[in-house]
Homo-oligomer: A and B are copies of this chain.
Amino acid sequence: MSTARRRPGRRGADAGNRGKILAAAAKRFTELGFRATTIRGVAADAGVDPALVHYFFGTKEQLFAQAMALPLDPGAVVEEMLAPGVDGVGRRLAARLLQVLDETAPANPVLALIRSATAHESAATMLREFLTAAVLNRITAALDVDRAELRAALCASQVVGLIVAREVVGLPALRTTDRAVLAGIYGDTLQRYLTEPL
Contact = CB atoms under 8 A, between A and B. Distances in A.
B35 A185 contact: no
Contacts of A165: 153, 156-157, 160-161
A153 B173 contact: yes
Interface in A88-147: 114-115, 117-119, 124, 127-128, 131-132
Interface residues of A, number: 44
Contacts of A114: 118, 164, 168-169
Contacts of A164: 114, 157, 160-161, 164
A174 interface: yes
| Complex A-B, nearest 6 residue pairs according to Cβ-Cβ distance, in ascending order | A161-B161, A153-B173, A157-B165, A157-B161, A153-B171, A150-B173
Contacts of A172: 149, 153
Contacts of A124: 168-170
